[in-house]
Amino acid sequence: MQNNFTDETFLARWLNNELSDEEVKAFEKTEGFYTYKRIVETSNLLEKPFFDKKKAFQRLLQSRMVSKKKPVITLWSYWLAASVAILVGIFALLPSESIYKSLEGEQLAFNLPDGSKVKLNAKSEISFYEKKWNDKRELNLEGEAYFKVNPGSKFTVHTKCGDVSVLGTEFNAHSRNNYFEVLCFEGRVKVDFMNDTIILKAGDAVRFMDEDKESWIFTQQSPSWTKGESTFENLPLKEVVKALERHYKIHFEFKNIDLKQRFTGSFTHDNLELALKSVFYPMGIKYKLRGKKPILLYRK
């Protein structure tokens, strides 16, 4: 079934609860549905226009006499539909936010408006305003991403934990809840975390976990996760388990496991059994696959 979902009559019938179940389901699947819904909720706060009820009733009777089959839609519904159309026009003029999101077990690569390259690790999200990009190169990150930034004006990555600023360089940023990690692969980056400011050069890394800071030096030329393998340096097992869950769309249960113990090593992204053995065997941890149930981690 095809519908003109922006047609004024269609919107009026929707506002008046006169759509068929099939029309409602089709409309709710469109990209614009939630935008219209939000605008209508805002419009409900507006004052209804005054009109003569007696004259409106007379026109209603005349309309029914001319064509009994024609659906009757209230004046208020038409007014609100027109208001929606006007507000949609206003929303269209406002800067729209571009959002890139990767799912569990998925990576996503794309270019920013200036040609800078970004690759998102599993279950991560980036958002920015493209129309404002030439004036201010900044974006928001939730999760993990690898950046190859073209030289130019200041480039800033905002996260809930802290910010990373550069002019032109390559770096990896990872921010989730109380975990914030930055690795510099080329050039220099400035990392701001709470009241702490750190300058990293190529080969430097810094990590903040629950406000504790850890620094180290690495030799890899790019993040291993971009090549199908996750590598960890003295990381609490809790974070390694979360990474396994994101990449393989799995969940774990624990029995007599200390999730604060540290792990240094890696796991592959294309073989679950091998990944589990790579992480847990060196730590003396057993695992048990249980079909659709969470994987059990335990010690005898």
Any domain includes 222:
no
Task: Please check the confidence at residue 37 and state whether its pLDDT lies above 80.
Answer: no
Q: Which tens digits make up the pLDDT trace of 51-73?
A: 555 565 566 556 555 544 445 55
User: What CATH number does the domain containing 186 carry?
Assistant: 2.60.120.1440
Rounded to the nearest angstrom, the gap between the alpha carbon of residue 128 and the centroid of all alpha carbons in its chain is 11
Integer Cα distance of 280 and 272 in angstroms: 12
Q: What is the pLDDT of residue 31?
A: 59
Q: Name residues whose C-beta falls within 8 Å of residue 117's C-beta, 6 or more positions apart in sequence.
A: 109, 110, 111, 147, 148
Q: What is the pLDDT of residue 246?
A: 96
Task: Give the CB-side neighbour count of residue 228, counting CA atoms within 13 A.
Answer: 4
Average pLDDT over residues 109-118: 96
Least confident of 20-34, 48-62, 103-117, 121-135: 48-62
**Top-confidence residue, 129 or 86:** 129
Identify whether residues 160 and 242 lie together within a single domain.
no
Integer Cα distance of 150 and 116 in angstroms: 5
Any domain includes 74:
yes
Q: What is the pLDDT of residue 195?
A: 86
If you ran DSSP here, which 8-state letter would residue 49 be given? P
Identify whether residues 84 and 103 lie together within a single domain.
no
Last residue of one domain, picked from the residues 182, 217, 252: 217
The percentage of residues in the chain with a pLDDT greater than 70, rounded to a whole number, is 75
Any domain includes 65:
yes
State the Cα torsion 71-74-77-81 to the nearest 10°. Answer: 60
Q: What is the pLDDT of residue 210?
A: 83
Tokens, residue 123 = 């279950």
Identify whether residues 108 and 25 lie together within a single domain.
no
Identify whether residues 283 and 209 lie together within a single domain.
no
Identify whether residues 101 and 208 lie together within a single domain.
yes
Task: Give the CB-side neighbour count of residue 157, counting CA atoms within 13 A.
Answer: 34
Tokens, residue 110 = 């794309």
pTM of the model: 0.68
Tokens, residue 272 = 């679950």
Last residue of one domain, picked from the residues 183, 217, 251: 217
Least confident of 85-94, 194-203, 259-268, 271-280: 85-94
Which residue segment(s) compose the domain that 208 sits in?
Answer: 97-217
Q: What is the pLDDT of residue 47?
A: 47
Average pLDDT over residues 73-90: 59
Tell me the pLDDT band of 78, cut-offs 50, 70 and 90. low
Identify whether residues 21 and 115 lie together within a single domain.
no
Any domain includes 2:
no
How many structural domains compose the chain?
3
Alpha carbon of 195 to those of 162, 167, 211, 221: distances in Å? 10, 22, 11, 30
Identify whether residues 195 and 111 lie together within a single domain.
yes
Q: Name residues whose C-beta falls within 8 Å of residue 9's C-beta, 6 or more positions apart in sequence.
A: 73
Identify whether residues 101 and 213 lie together within a single domain.
yes
Q: Does the CA dihedral 4-7-9-14 come out positive or negative?
A: positive
Any domain includes 223:
no
User: What CATH number does the domain containing 256 carry?
Assistant: 3.55.50.30
120 DSSP β-pair partners: 108, 145
Identify whether residues 41 and 148 lie together within a single domain.
no
Least confident of 1-10, 43-52, 175-184, 240-249: 43-52
Task: Please check the confidence at residue 106 and state whether its pLDDT lies above 90.
Answer: yes
Any domain includes 135:
yes
Identify whether residues 123 and 185 lie together within a single domain.
yes
Last residue of one domain, picked from the residues 217, 244, 271: 217
Any domain includes 114:
yes
Q: What is the pLDDT of residue 1?
A: 42
Identify whether residues 150 and 248 lie together within a single domain.
no
**Top-confidence residue, 16 or 87:** 16
Integer Cα distance of 58 and 64 in angstroms: 10
Least confident of 6-20, 90-104, 149-163, 201-215: 6-20
Identify whether residues 123 and 146 lie together within a single domain.
yes
Q: Which tens digits make up the pLDDT trace of 257-278?
A: 999 999 999 999 999 999 999 9
Any domain includes 235:
yes
Of 241, 294, 247, 283, nearest in space to 268 by CA: 247
Q: In the block, which residue shows the tokens 């975990």?
A: 179
